[in-house]
Amino acid sequence: NAGVTQTPKFQVLKTGQSMTLQCAQDMNHEYMSWYRQDPGMGLRLIHYSVGAGITDQGEVPNGYNVSRSTTEDFPLRLLSAAPSQTSVYFCASRRPGQRSYNSPLHFGNGTRLTVT
């Protein structure tokens, strides 16, 4: 059981380039989300999805796009990379159900992104 898989593990971009961070889960979780982790700031929510075809913004959505065409995949797109987007990005998922908010988040191992 792979859990939550993120690719790539590392990426270096130049300012203005675009790219897609991949996230896939094999646990049939309806809820998926993207966080960024910066030193001393904890994790901040970028976007989240409660099921295929449904997405919404988190705390820091500017500069990022998401889509959810399948239950398994939730890619994060950087449209025009900026140095301020240098960070570690984590994808997380949670099992479905009426009381899903009381089930733990499952995290991938992260993508370390550097924008020069």
Partner 1 sequence: KQEVTQIPAALSVPEGENLVLNCSFTDSAIYNLQWFRQDPGKGLTSLLLIQSSQREQTSGRLNASLDKSSGRSTLYIAASQPGDSATYLCAVSRDTGGFKTIFGAGTRLFVKA
What residues line the site for partner 1 (CB under 8 A)? 4, 31, 33, 35, 40-45, 48, 50, 56, 58-59, 90, 92, 94, 100-110
Closest contact distance (angstroms) between CB of 32 and partner 1 is 11
State the nearest-atom distance from the C-beta of 27 to partner 1, in Å.
Answer: 13
Residue number with CB closer to partner 1 (85 or 108): 108
Q: For the purposes of burial, counting CB atoms within 10 Å of the CB of 81, is it exposed (0-12), middle (13-18) or buried (19 or more)? A: buried
Is the Cβ of residue 38 or residue 80 nearer to partner 1 in the bound state?
A: 38
Scan for tokens 């998922």, then name that residue: 93
Q: Which is nearer to partner 1, 58 or 75 (CB)?
A: 58
Nearest approach, Cβ of 69 to partner 1 (angstroms)? 20
